[in-house]
Each structure stands twice: as structure tokens, then as C-alpha cells.
Amino acid sequence: MKILVTGGTGFIGSHTVIELIQSGYDPVIVDNLSNSNISVLDGIREISGKVPNFYEIDCRNREALRQVFEIEKPEAVIHFAAFKAVGESVDKPLEYYSNNIGSLAILLEIMAEFDMHNLVFSSSCTVYGQPEQLPVTEESPDKNAASPYGYTKVVCEQMIKDVCHSKVALKSAILRYFNPIGAHPTGIIGELPNGVPNNLVPFITQTAIGKRDTLTVFGTDYSTPDGSCIRDFIHVVDLAKAHLAALEWLMNANTTFEIFNLGQGRGNSVLEVVKAFEALTGEGLNYKIGPRRSGDVEQIWANVDKAERLLGWKTKLGIEEGLRDAWNWEKQLQAKEQIRS
């Protein structure tokens, strides 16, 4: 069975591609490489023994995407392709609205054109804004998103829901991620953002290895035990496995639209993660306290009972494994760079 994976050379997409291959699926990758690297395909091949068909296109390119459907005839789509940095979205809102919402609209039109009805969508806990009660469930009210990035996910979810309830007969599993961290345990693929990382853990590992001078902790005056933001950190391999579980559930489900929280189900503060990394690796981090970052919520973590009940999925890896694998990945990257130089 062919599965189209948009954004399939990205952090979560590439790990999901490996899970698909190892479970007997035939993933087809579409990615414009705006925040990923073509070398990820070599890593996928090294781990899985297979290189998926790859198309370097932007999902907003209607004709190019239509050609992929004509050639590959996928039976389902896992849609990752989107810009994803909260802080950057505050600075560049129009780019986020154009890319995240525009690409999904075109994808849904082409799926309908080819009579293909199965969509697993990459959403985010940012749709909850700053929740009044924790942990959040899928029934927790959506709040005004704290960033343009979060609002693009709100709009995309509503767009999918509207199409699912129309005559198009779309079926979709909406996966609301919390905070993915880690890397493949082989150290062959991991989080490889272009330029300066926007996420905490790659900034930690790049600071520890000397690529960045200083890690900034954005705000320690929040109403949390140590004053820093609290997040629900989930290992990327666990998250990738959740996509496989959601895909298989969707292909057999009678419902047309369902939302799932994907996290560990507990929160850790930014400072807790910093200290856990130092304790795990023995590396001292050069970090400083900075002002709050626009768009950040104070604290959030997930209730994941629904995913366990319907998908048969739960996390198996903790924050220590996530930090261990991210550090292993960073060290392997540096070793490769030294060999090339």
C-alpha cells in the first residue's frame, strides 16, 4: 500500500517513513526541503534498506502535486508539510498562513479529485492556547491560539472537519502533538533544522557540542515551580509509531473525523530538561535567562487516554531516552562534519 508522506524528510516525517517501511508500507515522500536536507534519504536507506520515491516539490504547486497522485496512486496521505516555529510565526505570519493553510487546501482538493479519502494530519497542542485545566483532553475547549502558527493549526483542523462532513467523504485522524524530542536510536537520523534551531532540545545539544555559544531560557517568571515553561515532551520514535497506529485505525474506522492527543501525559519544565541533560551527559550547558518569548504558553501537558483506548498506542520512551538519543545524534553529526572537513 502506497502512503504519500508530505514533509517526509523532516524530523517527524522521516521517522514515520521508517516505521511505515518496517511495517510493510510503501511510503512516497513529497518535500520542498525548506527545513530539511536531502541527505535524510541516505539515513532512511541505511536504517530501513529502502529509499522511498521522492519528489522535491512544494505542496502549493497544484500541478506538480497532481502529477505525484497520477504516478503513485497513494491510498492515504500523512500530511506533515508545514512551517512549525512559534516564535518565527509571530515575526512572519503571512508566510505561515500561506504555507500551512494554502498547502492543505490544495492537497484536499487533489485528494477529492483522485477519490482518495484517508488523511492523517499533523496538528499541535497549540490549538489549546493556555488551557484553564490540566491535563488537556481532546474535549478541552480550543482557545485563541497564542501564535500565528497555532492559529494555522486551528484553521486547518476546521477545514478538514468541514470537508469530512461534506459530500467529499473524507476520513481523517487529527494528531495533536505535544513536544517531540530525540532521534532514531541508531543516531543515523534526527532533528536537523536548517539554520538556528527553534526547538529546545536541538538548541541544547548544539550548545553542548559548541555550535551555539549560549542557550537562552525564555522566561523564569511564570507561575510554575521553577518559573520556566512546562511542556509535555514525547520521543519522536513513539510519535512516529502513533502515526502508524492512526493510519491503520483510520483505514478500518467507521467515523470520519477524530482527534487524538499525542504526548507522554506529564509535564517537564525547560529548566528541568536542561538539568536532566547535564546530569545524563555530564556536559555543563552555558545558558542564560532571557525575557519571555512571544507566543509561548505557560504550561501544558496531555491526557492521552483516548489514543491508548482507540489506537492501542502509548509511549514507551521517556525524557531521558529522548535526551540520550538527541545527544547521540548530535555527536554523530559532528563526527561526520569533522571527517568531511
pLDDT of residue 308: 97
Whether the Cβ atoms of residue 206 and residue 197 lie closer than 8 Å to each other:
yes
Count of Cβ atoms closer than 10 Å to residue 252 Cβ = 6
144, pLDDT greater than 80? no
pLDDT of residue 193: 74
Q: Which helix (H) or strand (E) holds 234?
A: strand 233-235
37, pLDDT greater than 80? yes
pLDDT of residue 292: 94
Stretch among 22-31, 138-147, 158-167 having the lowest mean pLDDT: 138-147
Burial class (CB in 10 A: 0-12, 13-18, 19+), 340: exposed
Residue 308 lies in a domain: yes
pLDDT of residue 85: 84
Residue 291 lies in a domain: no
d(CA 143, CA 7): 27
pLDDT band of residue 336 (cuts 50, 70, 90) is: confident
pLDDT of residue 217: 96
Whether the Cβ atoms of residue 79 and residue 121 lie closer than 8 Å to each other:
yes
Residue 296 lies in a domain: no
pLDDT band of residue 68 (cuts 50, 70, 90) is: very high
296, pLDDT greater than 90? no
Residue 189 lies in a domain: no
d(CA 161, CA 164): 5
pLDDT of residue 295: 78
Q: Who wins on pLDDT, 192 or 194?
A: 192
d(CA 41, CA 37): 8
Whether the Cβ atoms of residue 316 and residue 238 lie closer than 8 Å to each other:
yes
Triad 54, 60, 63: Cα angle to 5° = 70
Mean pLDDT of 175-188: 96
pLDDT of residue 172: 97
* Rounded alpha-carbon distances, angstroms, from residue 331 to 57, 74, 192, 223, 324: 31, 37, 13, 35, 11
Residue from 314, 315, 332, 317 nearest 47 by CA: 332
Q: For the domain that residue 21 is a member of, what is the CATH number?
A: 3.40.50.720
Q: What is the pLDDT of residues 49-58, one digit of tens each?
A: 999 999 999 9
pLDDT of residue 92: 94
Residue 222 lies in a domain: no
Per the structure, how many domains does the chain have?
1
Arithmetic mean of pLDDT over the chain: 94
Q: Which residue has the cell 504550561?
A: 299
Residue 42 lies in a domain: yes
Interacting residues of 211 by C-beta distance below 8 A, sequence separation 6+ = none
pLDDT of residue 214: 95
Count of Cβ atoms closer than 10 Å to residue 73 Cβ = 12
167: containing domain: 2-181+232-264+304-315
340, pLDDT greater than 90? no
Torsional sign, CA 267, 271, 273, 275: negative
Residue 332 lies in a domain: no
Interacting residues of 111 by C-beta distance below 8 A, sequence separation 6+ = 69, 77, 117, 119, 170
Looking at the DSSP bridge assignments, the partners of residue 319 are none
Point out the catalytic residue in the list 96, 128, 149, 151: 149
* 149 has catalytic annotation: yes
Pair type for strands 26-30 and 53-55: parallel
Q: What is the pLDDT of residues 209-252, one digit of tens each?
A: 999 999 999 999 999 999 999 999 999 999 999 999 999 999 99
pLDDT of residue 129: 85
